């Protein structure tokens, strides 16, 4: 079992890594949504 002092360093590090991974997926989802909107707008203008 890990001791208290190593967990003091490990837990915040894991929290940051988790936040970055989740943030990446949220950003990709948002960008895909925005790209789909822009593509629809461009297709409408091209008509």
What stretch of H or E contains 32?
helix 4-46
- pLDDT of 47 strictly over 80: no
- Residue 4: its pLDDT value, please? 82
35 burial class (0-12, 13-18, 19+ CB within 10 angstroms)? exposed
pTM, full prediction: 0.66
Domain ranges of the chain: 22-47
Q: Which two tokens stand for residue 1?
A: 């079992």
4-17: average pLDDT: 89
How big is the chain by its Cα radius of gyration, in Å? 20
Task: Collect contacts of 36-41 with beta carbons under 8 A, ≥24 apart.
Answer: none
47 vs 21: CA distance, rounded Å: 40
- Residue 8: its pLDDT value, please? 86
């Amino acid at each position: 079992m890990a001791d208290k002092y190593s967990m003091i360093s490990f837990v915040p590090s894991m929290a940051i890594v988790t936040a970055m991974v989740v943030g990446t997926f949220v950003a990709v989802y948002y960008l895909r949504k925005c790209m789909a909107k822009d593509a629809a707008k461009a297709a409408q203008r091209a008509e």
